[in-house]
Amino acid sequence: MEIKHYDDGKKGHFKAIEGDVQAGIMTYVWAGDKFIIEHTIGNPDFKGIGKKLLDEAVTFARNNNSKIIPLCPFAKKMFDKHEEIHDVLAQ
């Protein structure tokens, strides 16, 4: 599986692709030096894909000294459950 990242400076997404099938996508928009995760969609045939997309977003935030605002219900739930990613959570 490949996760591709697209960012145009205003918005972006992480897209998981297996062959020619889209396994999932997580979209975000920039708000200054933070980005807001707006939406996560996972193909039900790919269990755990949302977590993999979130892991990519967290890695991206860490590598770019950014913070994440998780408005997406899935992302918010994952931040609530996993303290180890709170270093990139916007206060």
Q: Beta strands 11-18 and 2-7: pairing type? A: antiparallel
11-28 burial, b at 16+ Cβ within 10 Å, e below that, comes to: ebbbbbeeeeeebbbbbb
**Could you list the residue range(s) of the whole structural domain that residue 10 is in?**
2-88
Question: What's the pLDDT score for residue 91?
Answer: 85
Q: Is the pLDDT assigned to residue 73 strictly greater than 90?
A: yes
Average pLDDT over residues 26-47: 97
Q: How many domains is the chain partitioned into structurally? A: 1
pLDDT (tens digit per residue) in 13-23: 999 999 999 99
- CATH number of the domain within which 9 lies: 3.40.630.30
